[in-house]
Amino acid sequence: MERTYIKDLKDYVGKEVIVKGWVDVRRDQGKMVFLDLRDMSGKVQAVVLPNHVEALEVAQRVRPEWVVCVSAQINKRPERNIKEGVLNGDIELEVLSVEVLNEAQTPPMDVTSDGHEIGEETRLKYRYLDLRRPRLQHNMRLRHDATLYARNFLSKNGFIEIETPLLTKSTPEGSRDYVVPSRIEQGKFYALPQSPQQYKQLLMVAGMEKYFQIARCMRDEDTRGDRQPEFTQLDMEISFATKEEIMELNEKLLIELVQTLTPEKRIQTIPFPRITYKEAMEKYGNDKPDMREDKNDPNLLAFCWVIDFPFFEKDKNGGWTFTHNPFSAPMPEHMAWLMNKEKIGEILATQYDVALNGFEIGGGSIRNHQPEALIKVLEIMGHTEEGIRENFGHMLDAFSYGAPPHGGIAWGLDRFLSVLTNEPNIREVIAFPKTGEGRDLMMEAPSEISAEQLQELGIATNRKM
């Protein structure tokens, strides 16, 4: 007999089934034992009656979180015992036999609660147990549904999904790179990508025209708020597209995704309001305004676009740096200022960010597709001709071979999902997150490597004793 998933039991009333899963709750009434069983699809109540002697003996021995295989008859519950609005609230399993597939130690924490009352260090150390709780099961499934919806939407709109390398070149893009030593070319290093920014632009040069990717991004940043060393973007790039076209496409995707997957949510304003960076700073004091009319409504989503960002800002040393990334194009009417390196502080970028309930969940721009314009950006930032060629020569060369005008956007998928699920931080929507300090408590990483590995890589370390 094949296994039946718990969500499908309602279709087999009066029949015998096999259920495999975990013991969620066990209640020993002496003459009978009640077991709440769960699998990936849901929960069901089972009862072991005295007439099934062998099954009762096993059931009296099992404990919560044991993995079992149960043979049972599906019965309708008496009217007085029906639980309305609950999965399988109108049926009950009469257990015929119980096979223990694996015993379990007493878990170091309750995995049936929402988990907010448990210290995060314990939860992250035993994350494989933490993920059993219904709240996180829901979050992981919603994450799957959201990425699948985005994939299907973009595919229907002519996009193709292309994976880009995780081992790449270290270039100055803002944050610190995580670096990986080369064993073959000792003294040289790969970098893990902060984003697929350069690769996706090179795909436009390659004529792919519409690209997207569920992309892993790594940034070696200092501990700061709700950040993770690695995170996920929904990344896309389009050739021959205007800012309006990219914004409209993404707005349509966001609206449809929310309305389809979380119908309990209400989007405050459609189409999304648009506000300039200057207006946002003057009215809200930040560039990711929370425009909700009622901030106590957990199902209210207030999207907005923030546009007209300054291209450059002063860094701590008094020089110029970019506000988003060096590959953005200026507003067409400001291109002459860029090329002449004048009115630098007044140049606006073709940057567009989408904010949601006070969080930036996405950002993009039209790019500089002509090498001369990119060179001017890098010169304004203080890069020498030699440094530009060393760090960005591959991009300049590519742009010299007929690069189409292009632009794109990247969503912070973790942030978007945490807002959508009303979670307090992105760690609640990531399967195996790290602490705020970047530590993986479950795998005990980062960790030291052996002297043999260091020697093989040609690396010596200065360990603090």
Strands (E), 309-417: 312-314, 320-322, 351-356, 359-366, 406-412
Instruction: Report the pLDDT averaged over residues 322-326.
Output: 85
Amino acid 462: pLDDT = 82
Question: How is 128-143 classified by DSSP, letter by letter?
Answer: HHHTTSHHHHHHHHHH
Instruction: Report the pLDDT averaged over residues 48-53.
Output: 96
Q: Is the pLDDT of residue 133 over 60?
A: yes
CA distances from 454 to 85, 187, 223 (A): 59, 12, 27
Distance CA 258, CA 252 (A): 10
Q: Where are the alpha helices (DSSP H) in 370-412?
A: 371-380, 385-399
Per the CB < 8 A criterion, the answer to whether 7 and 41 are in contact is yes
Q: How many CB atoms lie within 10 A of CB 418?
A: 22
**Torsion over CA of 255, 259, 261 and 263, rounded to 10 degrees?**
150
| Neighbouring C-alpha atoms within 13 Å toward the C-beta of 8 | 11
Instruction: Report the pLDDT averaged over residues 194-210.
Output: 97
**All structural domains of the chain with their residue ranges:** 6-102, 127-429
Backbone angles phi, psi at 449, to 5 degrees: -115, 165
Task: Provide the pLDDT confidence category of residue 227 given band limits of 50, 70 and 90.
Answer: confident
Q: Is the pLDDT of residue 399 over 90?
A: yes
Amino acid 464: pLDDT = 61
Distance CA 297, CA 268 (A): 11
Amino acid 39: pLDDT = 97
- Residue 450 token pair: 């052996």
Distance CA 254, CA 177 (A): 31
Distance CA 37, CA 64 (A): 9
Q: Is the pLDDT of residue 149 over 90?
A: yes
Task: Provide the pLDDT confidence category of residue 225 given band limits of 50, 70 and 90.
Answer: low
Distance CA 12, CA 2 (A): 13
- Residue 456 token pair: 């093989």
Reported as a single tens digit per residue, the pLDDT across 272-284 is 999 999 999 999 9
Reported as a single tens digit per residue, the pLDDT across 63-99 is 999 999 999 999 999 888 899 989 999 999 999 999 9
Percentage, residues of the chain above pLDDT 90: 89
Q: Is the pLDDT of residue 317 over 90?
A: no
Amino acid 129: pLDDT = 98
Q: Which DSSP symbol is given to 362?
A: E
CATH number for the domain formed by residue range(s) 6-102 = 2.40.50.140
Q: Is the pLDDT of residue 215 over 50?
A: yes
Amino acid 15: pLDDT = 96
Amino acid 465: pLDDT = 40
- Among 33, 28, 29, 24, smallest CA distance to 6 is for 24
Strands (E), 183-330: 189-191, 210-218, 230-239, 266-267, 274-276, 300-301, 303-307, 312-314, 320-322
Per the CB < 8 A criterion, the answer to whether 258 and 270 are in contact is no
Task: Provide the pLDDT confidence category of residue 17 given band limits of 50, 70 and 90.
Answer: very high
Task: Provide the pLDDT confidence category of residue 226 given band limits of 50, 70 and 90.
Answer: confident
Q: Out of 3.30.930.10, 3.10.129.10, 3.40.50.300, 3.30.70.1400, which CATH number does the structure's domain 127-429 have?
A: 3.30.930.10
pTM, entire model: 0.94
Question: How is 34-82 classified by DSSP, letter by letter?
Answer: EEEEEETTEEEEEEE-TT-HHHHHHHTT--TT-EEEEEEEEEEPPGGG-
Rounded mean pLDDT of the chain? 95
Amino acid 222: pLDDT = 80
- Among 324, 330, 308, 327, smallest CA distance to 363 is for 324
- Residue 82 token pair: 């029906």
